[in-house]
Amino acid sequence: MDMIVDGWQAFRASGFGTVVTSIGAQRIYAWIALALVFGASLWFARRQLNLLRSVSAAELDSDLRLPGPVPKKPASIQRRIDWFEARRDEVVHGVWRALGLLLMLGMILPGAVVFMTVWQHDWLLPDYAAPIVIGEGEPVAAVGDVVIFLADQVFRGAFADIPEVFRLGLTPVSNNPDNAVISWLVVIYRFAAGIVSGSAIYMLYRVWRGVPRIDRRIADYRERLKQAQLPGA
């Protein structure tokens, strides 16, 4: 252990070690890590969004999707019921899983990056203006204010220009235009949050419209099953 400590101290004392372990170098490492998390999460969110859009709950209510004639025997009807129930559960559970991943990748992880850059701006951007302000430019640094500020960006991104036109918002805290780095991060995050929230609402609408149709088809087959099981049928 002493050899490791002595070796590390000797490395830091060297010219190269002094450079790569300096505060400036640590800031560069931190920014690289934050940029990688921010970019990778948005890239994977885009892939997840494409997968989510491929789900079509409404198409599952058609017999044309199933091979063979309309079943008439009880066993065949029951298999058809089982198929529709399995597909309904698969779609619902699949959409919820996909939405969870989409929210994590497209909203929570990028939001965490923005949160860290705002919360630690004194260390990450020591020579820059305050990242967020309230009122006439008073800096804001409380954790709760930063969290509400991020939630407000999601709200504004989800509803496009409506909050701006009607002056709606969750907090008077806003980004400081004098801090270009944070302001551009907020622009990208708001854009991504708008796409994610809009896609989530759209997919929930499709499931809301599609699943009842499947349920009605299942109910229809259950009625056919009852008729097929009657004596003399």
pLDDT at residue number 41: 93
- pLDDT tens series, the chain, 233 aa: 656 655 556 656 666 667 677 888 888 899 999 999 999 999 998 888 887 777 654 454 454 466 667 778 888 888 888 988 888 888 788 888 888 898 899 889 999 999 999 888 889 988 888 888 876 667 766 788 888 888 888 878 777 666 665 666 777 788 888 889 989 999 899 888 888 888 888 888 878 877 888 888 888 889 888 888 877 65
Please give the pLDDT value at position 64. 45
**pLDDT tens-digit profile of 48-101?**
888 777 765 445 445 446 666 777 888 888 888 898 888 888 878 888 888 889
**pLDDT score recorded for residue 201:** 84
Q: Name every residue whose Cβ is closer than 8 Å to that of residue 55 and which is 6 or more positions away in sequence.
A: 91, 94, 95, 98, 203, 206
Domain positions in the chain are 39-228
| Triad 132, 134, 136: Cα angle to 5° | 115
Q: What pLDDT does 162 receive? A: 67
Mean of per-residue pLDDT scores for the chain: 80
Of the candidates 61, 78, 77, 57, the residue with the CA atom closest to the CA atom of residue 69: 77
Give the separation between CA 223 and CA 225, rounded to whole angstroms: 5
* pLDDT score at 34: 93
